[in-house]
């Protein structure tokens, strides 16, 4: 839901971070798609991806094209991406 969840990516050198925030009063499952334009601009290849939440240490798997995540009510995730 674009009104209740917010997501952005940043990359510096070899570090890629994806931040997801849930402003809803309930937990949600979300699919975060990473557009081709973003991958091209950030020079991210299409590949399997492993993500570690730097807040909770939760582990997630996906691809650099997208990832399925579960986020709690009023929570944030700061995912360090490895591909």
3-state secondary structure 5-69: EEEEEEEECCEEEEEEEECCCCCEEEEEECCHHHHHHHCCCCCEEEEEECCCCCEEEEECCEEEE
pTM of structure: 0.91
Indicate the pLDDT class of residue 2, thresholds 50, 70 and 90.
confident
Q: Give the CA angle between residues 57, 62, 65 to the nearest 5°.
A: 130
Q: Give the CA angle between residues 32, 1, 25 to the nearest 5°.
A: 110
Query: Do residues 79 and 34 touch, judged by C-beta distance below 8 A?
Result: no
pLDDT of 15-65, one tens digit each? 999 999 999 999 999 999 999 999 999 999 999 999 999 999 999 999 999
């Amino acid at each position: 839901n674009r009104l209740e969840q917010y997501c952005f990516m940043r990359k510096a050198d070899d570090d890629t971070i994806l931040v997801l925030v849930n402003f809803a009063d309930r937990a949600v499952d979300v699919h975060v798609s990473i557009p081709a334009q973003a991958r091209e601009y950030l020079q991210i290849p299409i590949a399997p991806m492993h993500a570690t939440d730097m807040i909770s240490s939760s582990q997630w798997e996906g691809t650099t094209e997208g990832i399925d995540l579960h986020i709690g009510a009023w929570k944030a995730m700061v995912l360090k991406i490895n591909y």
